Amino acid sequence: MKSTARRQSYGVKGAPYAHPSPTTTLKRARSAPYFFLLPATVLFALFFALPIGYALWLSLHKVKVSGLGLGSGARKEVWAGLENYTDALSDSELLHGTLRVLGYGCIVVPVMLGLALLFALMLDSEKVRLAPFTRLAIFLPYAIPGVVAALLWGFLYLPDVSPFYFVLDRLGLPQPDLLDGGPLYLALSNIAVWGGTGFNMIVIYTSLQAIPAEVYEAAKLDGATPLQIALRIKIPMVAPSLVLTFFFSIIATLQVFNEPTTLKPLTNSVSTTWSPLMKVHRDAFGEGDIYGAAAQAVIIAFATLLLSFGFLRAANRRQKQEAAR
Amino acid sequence: MSSLAVSQAEPVAGAAPGTDQSRPPLRRRIALIPTATLLLGAIYCLLPVAWVVIAATKSGRELFSTFTFLPGTGFVENVQDLSAYRDGVYWEWMGNSALYAVLGALLSTCVSAVSGYALAIYRFRGRETIFNVLLAGVLMPPVILAIPQYLLLAKTDLTDSYLSVLLPQILFPYGVYLARIYAAAAVPADVVEAGRMDGASEWRIFTRIALPMMIPGMVTVFLFQFVAIWNNFLLPYIMLSDDEKFPITLGLFTLLEQGANTPALYTLVITGAFLAVLPLVALFLVIQRFWSLDLLSGAVKS
């Protein structure tokens, strides 16, 4: 028995099963994955499942105040049914916040992913110079916290300290207020585009690098220009990573919170309810209405899931159609 | 041979094909349009960083009076002022951020590694269900989790503590996902089998054999989570009220809130922002060569 001899010579110190029978080995191998997954499962239960369940519970309840609301028994949590949900859905502030964020998303997502794709294709083109430097420079904003990014750009938008206003002033051009009205959307979008382009560029670029060179050779022999190769071969081949970056960008955009919150001290145009999540936060902590806030939170989560999965399904169907052709 | 000929005859953007000479002009040897586009992108991305580096050197008066990109003379003074602000609370914020990010990312990497390994190596009932449920966590908007997390932690008197910021960030669904992909690629099944034949326990096989093979991928997970925790604003914003426990993002935000209406505090905010960016940028420059971004593309492909 060669294996027994080996087992003895490699015997594990202190292990209770220095000579395991095949069946015990199998049993151990069967239960081991559950032990390995125990920390993740416990953390998931405590910090994901339980809070989500609690938010659902809260969203279906309200506080009923009896009498003058004094004493410990005066405030009672009672069943509210769908009342919080109907309130949230007819809340004009929430609707306006949603529309603002949709408008903001319509700028951020196409511009950011367009730039990311453009830069990735440029990095991937032949004979390009300074590629390592520019790649690192464009990726750098990923390392900068959203709050700090908003703060930096916030100062660059302030007429007193901004180089843009300095240049406009010298040229005698009009100086728009970047932190108000329509330009505010551009100002906020710019922060998101600045912070997110590099990461998406790297994702697209790495999948471009994975395309084998032979794929282009036939096209090159046929005299295709780099532009044609980019449009007809490269972009279709990185479509899966474009879908993925699109998916994550939509989710991130709908959840925008940090940047408008950081710009708020610098301008009066960003209200405490500028984005839906800011409104949820205000209602929960500013107004103390955790029940209404929970219902809004559930609606936003549900809408996000619906939108992102709807997009993924549509993208998959398109890909299947393309493949079938 | 054919590939060599092709790459020499490859036409560059903006040039008509089929006119190549034996010595191509400079325009042909450097792709002008891609290089210029990338340089513009790099300038756009570096502009705010360059601005904060220079603005941090200006004294309060110079900030408003001299040209933006002209370095000032007040850097040392600014750092001294910042360090003196509320008995050096700024450096406490930095220390707190380092604590949250290092400890959090370390724990997070351990949980990701052990979970990813289990999901990649074993075949067991419920494997895909557990994986999908863990991954669904990525889609949950953070505010939606953070508010009930706060309310639940408040019931156990854990809010406004270091743990309230640390604990919710340990499980990192994306890290589990990356660890699973990496373990599946880096740990061969017969190595695990050989370990079993030798009588090693499953745990020992994981720690002694599989984990060393997974190190490069785990470095990536650690770095992702380090950046994510260092940059997190929302969770500490909701959980903490005692500013001695604030991480740097939240500290800077409160400084900005106070400083927005008092331009005298602008220099403090700007110097604070500059110093807050430094550690991450330095880390970034050092580790970018170790950061296996291939993992990202692998993640995208599957």
Domain boundaries, chain B: 83-301
CATH of the domain at A317: 1.10.3720.10
Cross-chain Cβ contact B114/A39 below 8 Å: yes
Q: Which of B30, B198, B273 is nearest residue A151 as measured by Cβ atoms?
A: B273
Mutate to test the interface with B, among A52, A148, A263 (most CBs of B within 10 A): A148
Poorest-confidence range of A127-136, B20-29, B173-182, B266-275? B20-29
Residue A308: list chain B partners with CB under 8 A: 139
Residue A88: list chain B partners with CB under 8 A: none
Q: What whole-number distance in Å separates Cα of residue B243 and Cα of residue B160?
A: 9
Q: What whole-number distance in Å separates Cα of residue A134 and Cα of residue B39?
A: 6
Instruction: Decide if A231 touches B, using CB distance below 8 A.
Output: no
Instruction: Decide if A98 touches B, using CB distance below 8 A.
Output: no
Q: Which of B52, B122, B249 is nearest residue A145 as measured by Cβ atoms?
A: B249
Return the residue matching tokens 């903001």.
A104
A213-234 confidence digits (pLDDT tens)? 888 888 888 888 888 888 888 9
State the burial class of residue A317 (Cβ atoms within 10 Å of its Cβ: 0-12, 13-18, 19+).
exposed
Q: Which of A41, A213, A258 is nearest residue B233 as measured by Cβ atoms?
A: A258
Cross-chain Cβ contact A51/B167 below 8 Å: no
Which DSSP letter does residue A75 get? Answer: E
Residue A230 lies in a domain: yes
Cross-chain Cβ contact B51/A37 below 8 Å: no
Cα nearest neighbour of A259 on chain B: B233
Cβ density class A58-77: b for 16+ within 10 Å, e for less: bbbbbeeeeeeeeeeeeeee
Instruction: Decide if A163 touches B, using CB distance below 8 A.
Output: yes
Average confidence (pLDDT) over B50-63:
87
Residue A300 lies in a domain: yes
The amino acid occupying position A183 is: P
Residue A300: list chain B partners with CB under 8 A: 141, 144
Which A-chain residues 45-64 have CB contacts (< 8 A) with chain B? 46-48, 50-52, 54-55, 58
pLDDT of B242 reads 92
State the burial class of residue B103 (Cβ atoms within 10 Å of its Cβ: 0-12, 13-18, 19+).
middle
Alpha-carbon torsion, ordered A183, A188, A192, A194, to 10 deg: 60
Cα nearest neighbour of A143 on chain B: B280
Cross-chain Cβ contact B167/A47 below 8 Å: yes
Which of B90-99, B147-156, B220-229 reaches the highest mean pLDDT?
B90-99
pLDDT of B162 reads 95
Percent of the residues in chain B that have a pLDDT greater than 70, as a whole number: 84
Residue A266: list chain B partners with CB under 8 A: 256, 260
Please indicate whether residue A70 or residue B215 has the higher confidence score (pLDDT): B215
Q: How far is CA B269 from CA A124, A141, A166, B26, B264, in A?
A: 39, 19, 21, 47, 10
Could you tell me the residue range of the domain that residue A168 belongs to? 91-324
Cross-chain Cβ contact B148/A58 below 8 Å: yes
Number of domains in chain A: 1
pLDDT of B292 reads 53
Confidence of residue B5 (pLDDT cuts 50, 70, 90): very low
B115-125 confidence digits (pLDDT tens)? 999 999 998 98
Cross-chain Cβ contact B145/A51 below 8 Å: yes
pLDDT of B40 reads 95
Q: What is the DSSP string of A207-249?
A: HHHTS-THHHHHHHHTT--HHHHIIIIIHHHTHHHHHHHHHHH
Cross-chain Cβ contact B140/A203 below 8 Å: no
Cβ-based neighbours of A42, under 8 Å, separated by 6 or more: none
Cross-chain Cβ contact A48/B203 below 8 Å: no
Residue A77 lies in a domain: no
Q: How big is the A-B interface in CB pairs under 8 Å?
A: 330
Which A-chain residues 126-145 have CB contacts (< 8 A) with chain B? 126-131, 133-145
Residue A114 lies in a domain: yes
Instruction: Decide if A27 touches B, using CB distance below 8 A.
Output: no
Instruction: Decide if A1 touches B, using CB distance below 8 A.
Output: no
Q: What whole-number distance in Å separates Cα of residue A232 and Cα of residue A211?
A: 14
Mutate to test the interface with B, among A153, A155, A160, A221 (most CBs of B within 10 A): A155
Instruction: Decide if A118 touches B, using CB distance below 8 A.
Output: yes
Q: What whole-number distance in Å separates Cα of residue A24 and Cα of residue B61?
A: 77
Residue A256 lies in a domain: yes
Which of A28-42, A97-111, B136-150, B181-195 reaches the highest mean pLDDT?
A97-111
Q: What whole-number distance in Å separates Cα of residue B12 and Cα of residue A227?
A: 9
Closest chain A C-alpha to B10 CA, distance in angstroms: 7
pLDDT under 50: residue ranges of chain A: 1-19
Poorest-confidence range of A29-33, A241-245, B9-13, B259-263? B9-13
Residue B302 pLDDT greater than 70, yes or no: no
Residue B204: list chain A partners with CB under 8 A: 12, 15
Cα nearest neighbour of B164 on chain A: A47
Instruction: Decide if A302 touches B, using CB distance below 8 A.
Output: no
Query: For residues B100 and B166, is the Cβ–Cβ distance under 8 A?
Result: yes
Please indicate whether residue A26 or residue B168 has the higher confidence score (pLDDT): B168
Cross-chain Cβ contact B3/A217 below 8 Å: yes
Residue A37 lies in a domain: no
Q: What is the DSSP string of A52-73?
A: HHHHHHHHTEEEEE-TTS-STT
Residue A51 lies in a domain: no
pLDDT of A63 reads 87
Residue B102 pLDDT greater than 90, yes or no: yes
Residue B111 pLDDT greater than 60, yes or no: yes
Cross-chain Cβ contact A258/B137 below 8 Å: no
Poorest-confidence range of A144-153, B109-118, B136-145, B154-163? B136-145
Q: What whole-number distance in Å separates Cα of residue A129 and Cα of residue A254?
A: 37
pLDDT of A81 reads 86
Cβ-based neighbours of B188, under 8 Å, separated by 6 or more: none
Longest CA–CA separation in chain A, Å: 93
Rg (CA), chain B: 26
Mutate to test the interface with B, among A2, A4, A127 (most CBs of B within 10 A): A127
Q: In this prediction, does ipTM exceed 0.90? A: no
pLDDT of B298 reads 46
Cα nearest neighbour of B166 on chain A: A47
Return the residue matching tokens 């593309």.
B297
Q: Indicate the fold that domain B83-301 takes in CATH.
A: MetI-like fold (1.10.3720)
pLDDT of B275 reads 93
Residue A80 lies in a domain: no
